[in-house]
Amino acid sequence: MKRATLEGLAPDGGLYVPSEVPRFSEEELGLLESGSFNNVAFAIAKKFAGEEIPLDILSRLIDECFTFETPLKELSADTFVEELFHGPTLAFKDYGARFLARMTGFFAAEDQKMITVLVATSGDTGSAVAYGFHGIPNTRVVLLYPSGKVSRLQEQQLTTAGDNVFALEVKGDFDDCQRLVKQAFVDSDMKQKLTLTSANSINISRLIPQSFYYAWASLQLRKRFPGKLPLFSVPSGNYGNLTAGVMAKMMGFPIGHFIAASNANDSVTRYLEEGRFEPKPTVTTMTTAMDVGNPSNFARLRHFFDGDFRRMGVEISGAAVSDAETLEAIRSVYNSCGYVMDPHTAVGYRALERYRQENPGQEYPGVVLSTAHPVKFDDAIMTAIGKEVPIPVEMTEIMEKKKNATLIGNGYEELARFLSNLDQQ
């Protein structure tokens, strides 16, 4: 785990995967049913960490990470929203970023190294990493985000942390940002100058903690719906979130099926239908965090299913949801339940609806992962329901800070120059 955390990408440019996914016995699951979220998180983390982190330190780090709730909100008798936006940046990325920051800080201090964390973000990853790593000793963070393609609140979050956090505004889309990060990791000259790692979901230590909330929710629902395994509908962009869910099921947690809910960037949906993975240029939609034409974590999914799209299709159904359907889902849920969901959550909700329409007669609980607070997408909420979402008190101060970002092109030379001069920043 240590090497994969500190390196991010494998030496050949590929993604690290666990040599073996640990399995929980039925007895262990029974004991965890009555435990807290942090109990579940610790039980999973210690199986992956092995002897690399003393258990008392790991337990303390877990408690430092997850100081917020992970509620399951009931929309109807068999439909739930798992709210993953109660962390400091109001997005599900807080789970992975806070865990990864503390693992990186621990390992870096152990080796007496300065780690440079290089991250491509389509919005919430950047802000979560900025706040997760802010002030962590032996680390500094460089965030790359696509100019004009993140919400104002997201941009304020990822460009105002300061101190050991640097923001680069890239003239391009998320795929350009991701390409630049990958080029840096395979640049031998850069490797000699800096110790680079990533905090994207390509880093396995950001992916592992995302399995915690699948495990937690599945155990809560098992108590309520004995013998009925839940469906998880997952808003999907770079497919790290879905991959973490698959890992949770491989560990033995009681999960029935996954729905990969995408927007117009539907390369995985088409793969599940046709067996051919043919990425297309990124399409801009209102669900900006899911605007990924060539998702990097798809390589891990294919690995777990031995490259067999039919096997993957048994576990995962795909659904592409349009912007018009997204707005209608926000509107209909608000009108029927009084519940306001952000556009990404609405994509997951509409995908679950469609799955149930196409598979009638199944009486299993459905869980939509709610990946961001609706205030982050206030324009879409206003369009859908004609109401503003109040800004949480903790976000007001951030909105008043001055943006601090360096504008660069989408060629690698400018990024390489910035990284080479990082010690002078």
| Residues that are catalytic | 93
Residues 6+ apart with CB under 8 A from 280: 265, 267, 293
Helix locations, 112-172, DSSP H: 124-133, 152-159
- List, as one string, the DSSP characters of 246-286: HHHHHTT----EEEEEE-S--HHHHHHHHS-----PPPP-S
Rounded Cα–Cα distance for residues 195 and 198 (Å): 10
Query: What's the burial of 183, exposed, middle or buried (CB within 10 Å: 0-12/13-18/19+)?
Result: middle
Beta bridge partners of 169: 145, 407
Query: What's the burial of 320, exposed, middle or buried (CB within 10 Å: 0-12/13-18/19+)?
Result: buried
Residues across the chain: 425
* Number of other residues whose CB lies within 10 A of the CB of residue 126: 33
User: What SS3 class is residue 62?
Assistant: helix
Place of tokens 């004995």: 226
